[in-house]
Structure 1
Amino acid sequence: MKVRVKFKKYGSLRFIGHLDVMRFFQKVMRRAQIPIAFTAGYNPHMIMSFASPLGIGLTSEGEYFDIELSEPISSSEAVRRMNEVTAEGIEVVSFRQIAEEKKMTGMAIVAAADYLVGFKNETDGAAITEKIITDFLRQQEIVVLKQTKRSEQEVNIRPLIYRMELTKSGIYLQLAAGSVENLKPELVMCALYQFAGICEASAGLSRHRLEMYADLASETEKAAGIRRLVPLDALGKDME
């Protein structure tokens, strides 16, 4: 039985990395007595995979990881137990059964993510207007220098920006996410700052992930640029 867990990450725990988050939840599973399944062999470990690791310094209300259970447990009971033993800065939101197919894991299907980028510098915030964002998105190409594991390369990020809006709280972004195509909000903001003529592009920004999505569009729809984005937890169901 496969389950998808949704959680929030906030406060001082935004500064811990992905491996620490994974170890943290391994301890939570033991303390909450969640019947998680283990791999076979001489060195068994919990069957657990995260949809898309969150960068250090970011907060989020839409993080996901998948596990396998050795026996059933109700969703409400699992959420209660886990939150009783968690730490300030991590809150479990849902615990939902998902399809058994390997191709439906969060890591495999995540296709987009929502972010809210806030300005800590009021001057920079005032300099970004709706017109600047509109003109920025009208560009056919937005070429940036992207760091890879081995080198740097120029990449056109315009097709990876699905939505971008100015709100009272900052800039809302909907970006490509996942193993195939992935765009970080700071790279978009760097390009926007350069377009607007603002220096120190990545300074003074707060970044908050709101949600992660799977794309249920058919291959024909995707080829036509059509997306049908669904939150990852919407693909599961609560267990009684």
Structure 2
Amino acid sequence: MKVRIKFRKYGILKYIGHLDVMRFFQKAMRRADIPIAFTGGYSPHMIMSFAQPLGLGVTSEGEYLDIELAGDITSEDAVRQLNQTMANGIDVVSFRQIQDEKKYSGMTLVAAADYLIVPKDMEETALREHNSETAVFPDNWNEALAAFLEQPEIKVMKKTKRSEKEVDIRPMIYDMHMEPSGICMQLAAGSENNLKPDLVMETFLKYVGEEEVKLHYHRREVYAKNPKSENPRFVSLESLGWDILSC
């Protein structure tokens, strides 16, 4: 049985990298008595994979980890047992069964992600008060943002593992708008197309002549393409699973 775990990452743990998060969850599985499956061979390891790991310094309320179970456990028990072992800065949100086929793995399905961007010095306040009525960015950025997105092309130099090339990022920005709590954006994510929010904001800040602004990036959700309809275009990875109600 395959399971998708959704978790939050915040506070001081935003500074630990992906490999440390993976090691943390390996220890948490043992401490929480989660019946996770192992690979065979001389050096067995837990069967787990992460969908779209975070960069350093980024907080999130929508991270995903897929595992395979070797025994029975309910979703309610798994969430409770895992959260009893969590350090301050990581919370497990859900534990849901998913389709067994490889094509349904989180790594394969990721297509988009939502982000909230706020000033660095207002990080804690802005993320705690989602419905704040006090704008955190200048009002004139609304018009600048509209003009920025009206450009037929937004070309930037994008670094890859081996080189650097010019890329038009406009088709990969699915949504970008201002709210009182910050700038919200939905960007392409995954192996096919992947756009980081810091690259978008660096480009926008150059456009408005405000390159010295320090920002914090918060991921709100990770999405797959909607398998049933184009409306909505995307669905959360969590919604593609179902709760395990009984053993």
Equivalent pairs counted in the alignment come to 232
Q: 1:208 to 1:128 in 2, by over 3 A?
A: farther
Displacement of 1:130 after TM fit? 1.2
Q: Secondary structure at the match of 1:42?
A: coil
* Structure 2 residue aligned with 1:171: 183
In structure 2, distance between residues paired with 1:134 and 1:25: 42
Unaligned runs of 5+ in 1: none
* Structure 1 residue aligned with 2:169: 157
What is the TM-score with the length of structure 1 in the denominator?
A: 0.93
Is residue 230 from structure 1 mapped to residue 235 from structure 2 by the alignment?
Answer: yes
Displacement of 1:64 after TM fit? 0.1
Identity %: 59
Contact 2:120 2:215 in 1 (8 A): yes
CA offset digits 1:51-98 (Å, max 9, x no partner): 111000000000001000001210000000000011000000000000
Q: 1:217 to 1:197 in 2, by over 3 A?
A: farther
In structure 2, distance between residues paired with 1:120 and 1:63: 21
In structure 2, distance between residues paired with 1:95 and 1:217: 21
Contact 1:163 1:173 in 2 (8 A): yes
What is the TM-score with the length of structure 2 in the denominator?
A: 0.90
Question: What letter corresponds to residue 236 of structure 1 in structure 2?
Answer: G
Question: What letter corresponds to residue 234 of structure 1 in structure 2?
Answer: S
CA offset digits 1:114-147 (Å, max 9, x no partner): 000002379x932752111111110110001111
Contact 1:128 1:196 in 2 (8 A): no
Displacement of 1:217 after TM fit? 5.3
Displacement of 1:198 after TM fit? 1.6
In structure 2, distance between residues paired with 1:218 and 1:232: 14
Question: What letter corresponds to residue 42 of structure 1 in structure 2?
Answer: Y
* Structure 1 residue aligned with 2:19: 19
4+ residue runs over 6 A deviation: none
Instruction: Show the 5 A alignment for 1:124-135.
Output: 125-126=137-138, 129-135=141-147
In structure 1, distance between residues paired with 2:207 and 2:79: 45
Question: What letter corresponds to residue 209 of structure 1 in structure 2?
Answer: R
Q: Secondary structure at the match of 1:95?
A: strand
In structure 2, distance between residues paired with 1:11 and 1:196: 30
Unaligned runs of 5+ in 2: 123-135
CA offset digits 1:154-193 (Å, max 9, x no partner): 1100000000010111100100000111000000001101
Instruction: Show the 5 A alignment for 1:46-195.
Output: 46-120=46-120, 125-126=137-138, 129-195=141-207
Question: What letter corresponds to residue 168 of structure 2 in structure 1?
Answer: N
CA RMSD of aligned residues (A): 1.7
